[in-house]
Amino acid sequence: MLKQHFRILSLALAMTMTTPCAPSQAAIGTGSISVGSTVVSLCLVFGSTIAFGSYNMNQLDQTGSISVICTFGTSYNIALDAGSGAGATTAVRKMTGLSGGALNYGLYRDAARSSPWGSAIGSDTVAGTANGLLQSVNVYGRIPAGQAPKADVYSDTVTVTLTY
């Protein structure tokens, strides 16, 4: 009988040693996170100096530029006001001398200087669409011939307005 118990015990032990144990399984849980952002339209504008040099009653032409950088795809409009000279308009701007005299000049959207640059969107401004990089737009200036201002140093400040 002891032999029989020993055989049963040996057989049971052999079965547990040869029978593979079921591997332990890790619990798995899943979830998600939401990710989002809003890209806003943003623009910066910079204007250069237009240095005409010395005027001697002959027509003087010079070119400057306006640099714009905006968020990619942003539509914009560049407007120029009449400047700070007394009685100036966007058709006839006026530089003011240190002693108060005036020297007329114009700013134009085209190299032929036939399209004055103003501030009426859709009429006399320059429109563009941003590519995400710095974009440069020429400003064509002209002091017409035949003016007889007194000798002085003349200047003006024109405000650039970027609408987007």
Domains delineated in the chain:
43-163 (2.60.40.1090)
* pLDDT level of residue 67 (50, 70, 90 thresholds): very high
> What pLDDT does 25 receive?
81
Q: Average pLDDT, stretch 76-97?
A: 98
Q: Which residue has the tokens 């040996």?
A: 10
Q: Which is it for strands 102-108 and 135-143: parallel, antiparallel or unpaired?
A: antiparallel
Q: How far apart are CA 113 and CA 130, in angstroms?
A: 25
End-to-end CA distance of the chain: 101
> What's the whole-number average pLDDT of the chain?
90
> Residue 10: how many CA atoms within 13 Å on its side-chain side?
6
Cβ–Cβ under 8 Å, residues 121 and 78: no
pLDDT band per the 50, 70, 90 thresholds, residue 21:
low
Q: What is the DSSP string of 68-103?
A: EEESTT-EEEEEE---SSTT--SSSEEEEETTS-EE
- Neighbouring-strand partners of residue 101: none
Give residue 18's identity as a one-letter amino acid code.
Answer: T
Q: What is the pLDDT of residue 2?
A: 44
Lowest mean pLDDT among 13-17, 23-27, 150-154: 13-17
pLDDT band per the 50, 70, 90 thresholds, residue 20: low
Confidence of residue 22 (pLDDT cuts 50, 70, 90): low
